[in-house]
Amino acid sequence: MSKKGISTTNAEDKEIKKTKLREILEFLAPIIIALVVAMILKYCVFANIQVPSGSMLNTIQENDRLIVSRLDYKFGDPERFDIAVFKNPEDEKILFVKRIIGLPGETVDIVDGTVYVTGADGKTMKLRDDFVAPENMDRYNGTFVVPEDSYFVMGDNRDNSVDSRYWTTTNFVSRDKFVGKVMFRYYPFNTAGKLE
């Protein structure tokens, strides 16, 4: 009888331990899954950035918080006028936010601050600049031939932006340095919304 009693108690103890372990696992599983999903979203799908400077005024204000889509440039190429986040060509630890102006193989001519682009077909067009506030225009002059697999970028605050016009090591952002496309501003709330 005592042997049966002991074996029953051991079996009950094992069952209690299994039940407790199962409860712990059931409690931890959603937390672990949520953490894994959050990490995948943060490092593969979206980026959350805060803009430290006024180089994109008046489109993006200093200290605005933005959501960036990492997928846009994984499955497609950057396009003209996209507002993009990329690694600074002169210090890759720093992220920049600028507008894409020149595409691979194009020639970008800037005459008294007005931007013209000549494509591989030889056709030249004046680019729109309605996103540049008149007080942020500059009188810069320069010509840049964009290499293949690279892009020419400028800040919307043309008079106060360190961008492709001024970098010393290269004037271009290579395709592999892009983090993603800015989708929308989520803070501050009074200016939140989609950016163009």
Known catalytic residues? 55, 98
Structure tokens at 55: 């180089």
> What are the angstrom distances between the C-alpha of 149 and each of 158, 170, 172?
24, 13, 10
The Cα diameter of the chain in Å comes to 102
Identify whether the C-beta of residue 97 lies closer than 8 Å to the C-beta of residue 56: yes
Q: Which helix (H) or strand (E) holds 151?
A: strand 150-154
Structure tokens at 148: 């293949």
- φ, ψ (nearest 5 deg) of residue 32: -65, -45
What is the rounded CA–CA span in Å between residue 85 and residue 98?
7
What is the rounded CA–CA span in Å between residue 21 and residue 176?
46
β-pairing, 83-88 with 91-102? Answer: antiparallel
Identify whether the C-beta of residue 178 lies closer than 8 Å to the C-beta of residue 85: yes
